[in-house]
């Protein structure tokens, strides 16, 4: 029976059209990346207050919980993947921001990393910690981004000198922590990266090695050099602050 003002209703079931890849990618990022809120600035997550030790948020899920979520996500559980995104976004942003030093680019790389991780979930081994696996993807994206901007400097070689005092073991205030990281920022990028992964993220040497695509022994050597370089920078900064002798 015809309705007033229109033709006969069509009760046939419509077959949904398959979304193109570009649309699915936009849907994925908009679904899993939270909108601006009280913990963001212009939609960009605020980096956590840095510290050489104890910078990891204790409220975050344990490593085994993240691995369990990743295992569920491998089976197609998108709710579990969304939980992974919420649990690791801030730490991932912190890591990328510290690598490239630009908030908007870091935010873009966070989304790119999650899209790549979603596609690569089948290759994740749940027996291993999830965050180092995710950070490996993020680091590769960040290095590609940096290579497009400028060539990477070669890592300086040399025999490690005798052990220097570890600045991470000093009793320091929150302001001192911030100053330590500002000073560390002036170091070679790989020194800064290894310090952040080991002290800021609390990763083991083996986990740092996974992210940096090297082995635990090289990580320990790199940490030694990074601590020594940081200690030297801190001593120079302290000497500059000393009043002139009278």
CA-closest candidate to residue 162, choices 99, 225, 237, 205: 225
Query: CB of 108 within 8 A of CB of 117?
Result: no
- Reduced to 3 states (helix: H, G, I; strand: E, B; else coil), residue 182 is helix
pTM of the model: 0.57
Query: CB of 53 within 8 A of CB of 179?
Result: no
186: DSSP letter: T
CA 69/CA 67 separation, integer angstroms: 5
CB atoms within 10 A of CB 60: 15
CA 165/CA 182 separation, integer angstroms: 19
Ordered structural domains, the chain, with CATH: 57-149 (1.10.1740.10), 167-239 (1.10.10.10)
Per-residue pLDDT of the chain (246 residues), as tens digits, is 444 444 444 444 444 444 333 333 333 444 444 333 334 333 333 333 333 333 333 345 566 688 999 999 999 999 999 999 999 999 999 999 988 888 899 999 999 999 999 999 999 998 889 999 999 999 988 888 877 765 444 444 443 433 444 444 444 455 667 778 788 888 888 998 899 889 888 889 998 998 888 899 999 999 999 999 988 888 887 776 665 555
């Amino acid at each position: 029976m015809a309705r007033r003002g229109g033709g006969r209703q069509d009760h046939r079931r419509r077959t949904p059209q398959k979304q193109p890849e570009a649309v699915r990618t936009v849907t994925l990022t908009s679904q899993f990346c939270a909108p601006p809120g009280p913990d963001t600035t212009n939609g960009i997550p605020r980096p956590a207050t840095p510290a050489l030790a104890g910078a990891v948020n204790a409220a975050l899920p344990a490593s085994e919980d993240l691995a369990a979520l990743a295992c569920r996500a491998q089976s197609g559980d998108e709710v579990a993947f969304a939980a992974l995104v919420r649990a690791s976004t801030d730490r991932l942003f912190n890591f990328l921001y510290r690598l490239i030093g630009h908030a908007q680019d870091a935010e873009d790389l966070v989304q790119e990393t999650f899209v790549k991780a979603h596609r690569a979930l089948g290759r994740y081994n749940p027996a291993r910690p999830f965050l180092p696996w995710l950070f490996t993807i993020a680091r590769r994206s960040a290095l590609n981004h940096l290579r497009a901007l400028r060539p990477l400097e070669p890592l300086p070689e040399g025999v490690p000198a005798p052990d220097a005092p570890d600045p991470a073991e000093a009793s320091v205030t929150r302001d001192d922590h911030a100053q330590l990281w500002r000073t560390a920022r002036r170091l070679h990028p790989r020194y800064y990266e290894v310090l952040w992964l080991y002290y800021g993220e609390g990763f083991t040497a083996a986990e740092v090695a996974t992210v940096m695509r090297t082995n635990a022994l090289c990580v320990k050597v790199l940490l030694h050099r990074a601590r020594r370089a940081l200690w030297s920078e801190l001593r120079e900064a302290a000497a500059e602050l000393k009043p002139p002798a009278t």
